[in-house]
Amino acid sequence: MKNNLKKLPKLLSVIILVAAVGLTIFGSSFKAGIKNSPVNNSQSDSASTEPASATEAVELPDAKVNIIAVGDDLLHLSLIESMAKDADGHYDFHQIFSEVKEDIKQADIAVINQETILGGEELGLSGYPCFNSPWSAGDALVDTGFDVVLGASNHALDKGKQGVLNTVNFWKTKHPEITLLGLNDSEEMQDKINIVEKNGIKFAMLNYTYGTNGIPMPKDTPYAVNMLDDKEKVLSDIKRAKESADVVIVFPHWGAEYTYSPNAYQDEWTEIFYDNGVDIIIGGHTHSIQPLEMYSKDGGRKMPVFYSLGNFVSGQKEWQTMLGSMAKLTVERKNGQIEITSASAVPVVTHYEIYWNRDPSLKTYKLCDYTEELASKHYLHMSKKQLEDLAKEVYGEYLEY
């Protein structure tokens, strides 16, 4: 694990500058959006729009969908060892989510990035650098209310082909109602465009990773992990997604770890996604929060880009990695037109007081519910103020707090 967090103050000042320039460009409201319809943030007035056609306006009723997406479920062995065991001797991960469960449950669609594979105990549980997590970790996600699980991460091949196959098999057999993205047990599964429909609005969801930590794709299962660098396939997926859904969301696993602004690779792909009609980007992987931007070109529509949500939970040991965020979006159909009517970032904190041993205190909190008292008890002796300052600097006006 690299650690260049010491560069943070310098990095932050650069980001603040970049953010300030960005906000000037994009202004406080973003009024373009899907299919040339308006997009507004929660603070701005709702802009009116013409229906696409009279027929569409009559046939499709107004509808609203709230989406929440959270960052990395990064299950270090120290974290796994902090969990209690259930009656069957399996680690019980429910405690992690007790403070945020209500928010997850109330969302119409809740998404989480499962950074580590769920290869199950039969492959041997492991942490950094080659992770493998138990199936009970997946059960806790389902009970918490997550609907969509992202699997394309740089750790997807940590246990080779069998790790992927076990993960896919777990979701397919134990929780077939969950939409798993990014990991596949067949070419047919990889070719399928996953669509989640809520309240009559269809969301196509695509998930890719920049790489797999140098572990080559198994030759006999070339479809195992969705790779961002297979550009032809990515573009073909987006085209098919647009044909069959109202909204296309891409979840890229990308970026430079421990940085607070997008790198050239993220910029390049953001432009490609925009040029090909993607509506929303929600990224992860960096273990640090990165900005939410209303990306636009040439005065065109605006596309919310959450560059990276950071960790949702982890056993990492740098205070900055304890801060993550929930992406919150509202998508509406009004008079037959699809609009993104709000986009914001809600900061969250991983709290733990004991390292690598049973720790009933290990939970993820919304930063607004977190206290200085809890922060002082954190194993890393944090302050709530430092977490707040970082969240404000990175998210600016899009911070929901």
Question: 353 exposed, middle or buried (CB, 10 Å; 0-12, 13-18, 19+)?
Answer: middle
Task: State which residue, 153 or 290, has the beta carbon closest to Zn ion.
Answer: 153
CB of 214 to Zn ion, least distance (A): 13
**Residues facing 149 on adjacent strands:** 112, 180
Helix (H) / strand (E) element for 293: namely strand 289-295
Task: State which residue, 103 or 158, has the beta carbon closest to Zn ion.
Answer: 158
Choose the binding region for Zn ion from 10-18, 57-65, 147-155, 187-195 (rule: CB under 5 A): 147-155
CB of 151 to Zn ion, least distance (A): 11
Task: State which residue, 31 or 285, has the beta carbon closest to Zn ion.
Answer: 285
Structure tokens at 117: 């594979």
Judge whether 79 and 93 are in contact, CB under 8 Å: no
Sign of CA dihedral 247, 251, 254, 259: positive
Choose the binding region for Zn ion from 148-156, 177-185, 268-276, 349-357 (rule: CB under 5 A): 148-156
Using Cβ positions, the residue closest to Zn ion within the complex turns out to be 285
Task: State which residue, 1 or 25, has the beta carbon closest to Zn ion.
Answer: 1
Which position among 41, 82, 126, 154 is part of the footprint of Zn ion (CB under 5 A)?
154
CB of 102 to Zn ion, least distance (A): 27
Query: CB atoms < 10 A from the CB of 39, how many?
Result: 27
Task: State which residue, 127 or 145, has the beta carbon closest to Zn ion.
Answer: 127
CA Rg, the chain, in Å?
20
**Residues facing 352 on adjacent strands:** none
CB of 63 to Zn ion, least distance (A): 34
Task: State which residue, 309 or 348, has the beta carbon closest to Zn ion.
Answer: 309
CB of 233 to Zn ion, least distance (A): 20
Choose the binding region for Zn ion from 194-202, 280-288, 328-336, 362-370 (rule: CB under 5 A): 280-288
The stretches of 84-186 forming alpha helices (DSSP H) are 101-106, 135-144, 160-174
DSSP 3-state assignment of 67? strand
CB of 113 to Zn ion, least distance (A): 8
Position 366 contacts Zn ion (CB under 5 A): no
Position 153 contacts Zn ion (CB under 5 A): yes
Position 285 contacts Zn ion (CB under 5 A): yes
Binding-site size, Zn ion (CB under 5 A): 3
Task: State which residue, 132 or 153, has the beta carbon closest to Zn ion.
Answer: 153
Phi-psi region of 268 (alpha: psi -120 to 50; beta: other; left: phi over 0): alpha
Query: By C-alpha distance, which of 125, 196, 113, 193 is closest to 159?
Result: 125
Query: CB atoms < 10 A from the CB of 81, how many?
Result: 17
Task: State which residue, 158 or 279, has the beta carbon closest to Zn ion.
Answer: 158
Separation between Cα atoms, residue 316 and residue 321, nearest integer Å? 7
Structure tokens at 178: 């969950």
- x/- letters, 240..279, toward Zn ion (CB under 5 A): ----------------------------------------
CB of 115 to Zn ion, least distance (A): 5
CB of 213 to Zn ion, least distance (A): 9
Omega cis (within 30) before 61: no
DSSP 3-state assignment of 132? strand
Task: State which residue, 210 or 223, has the beta carbon closest to Zn ion.
Answer: 210
Residue reference for tokens 């607004």: 368
Residues that bind Zn ion (CB under 5 A): 153-154, 285
